[in-house]
Amino acid sequence: MIVFDLECRSGGHRFEGWFGSTDDFARQQERGLVTCPVCDAADVVKAVTAPNLARKGNQSPAIAPHRDNAQSAPAPAPAPASTSASQPVLASAMPPEAQAMFRALAAMQAEALKSSRWVGDNFAEKARAMHYGENEVEAIHGQTTPDEAIELFEEGIDIAPILFPLAPPGETN
């Protein structure tokens, strides 16, 4: 599948289209099957875009600080371990508003984790102990399996995922 950024000439609306190939896009366009989802215009062309060049596997993405808050902006959250070099995570691919939102969320998460205790793989056990009154209630964070998280939820134990990846203490460079 190929994803094209498309634009309708009549309204200037930009949107995305998925096609089997460039020829598939051309055939659908000739038959009038490619229309603008906003104004339903059939005069749709491929939008001019910058090429998406993947970085080498041993290179980090370059993330520029937000212009308005360059001094106080928190460092960007690390990318998940599953991110591959063929799928770069670049701040320039996001609108500035989205970048600012993610920076704000990362800052809120970092602030919340300052007052929380790392319990590692014992998260489910510690959460249960607090819920059932065996331990004093405190803010904790750690790791658990998806099945354990579902069990905690089914037992009525309030938990929430951490939005940005977090390396356990002592495992960062």
Structure confidence at residue 124 as a pLDDT band (50, 70, 90): very high
Is the model's pLDDT at 72 over the cut of 70? no
Task: Please state, rounded to an integer, the average pLDDT across all residues of the chain.
Answer: 77
Task: Yes or no: say if 131 and 155 are a contact pair by the CB < 8 Å rule.
Answer: yes
Read off the pTM: 0.44
Range 121-149 average pLDDT: 91
Q: How many C-alpha atoms does 13 have within 13 Å on its Cβ side? A: 16
156, pLDDT greater than 80: yes
Q: What is the mean pLDDT of residues 131-140?
A: 92
- What would the two tokens of residue 124 be? 């489910």
Rounded distance, CA 127 to CA 22, Å? 53
pLDDT at 85: 42
Q: In the prediction, which pLDDT does 96 show?
A: 87
- Which tokens hold the place of 33? 């099957």
* Angle formed by the axes of helices 123-131 and 146-154, nearest 10°: 10
3-class DSSP string for 40-88: CCCCEEECCCCCCCCCCCCCCCCCCCCCCCCCCCCCCCCCCCCCCCCCC
Minimum mean pLDDT among 24-33, 118-127, 163-172: which range? 163-172
* Residues in the chain, total: 173
* pLDDT for the residue 67: 45
| Among 79-83, 106-110, 117-121, the least confident range | 79-83
pLDDT of residue 83: 41
**pLDDT digits over 25-65, tens only?**
889 989 989 999 999 898 999 887 766 566 666 655 555 44
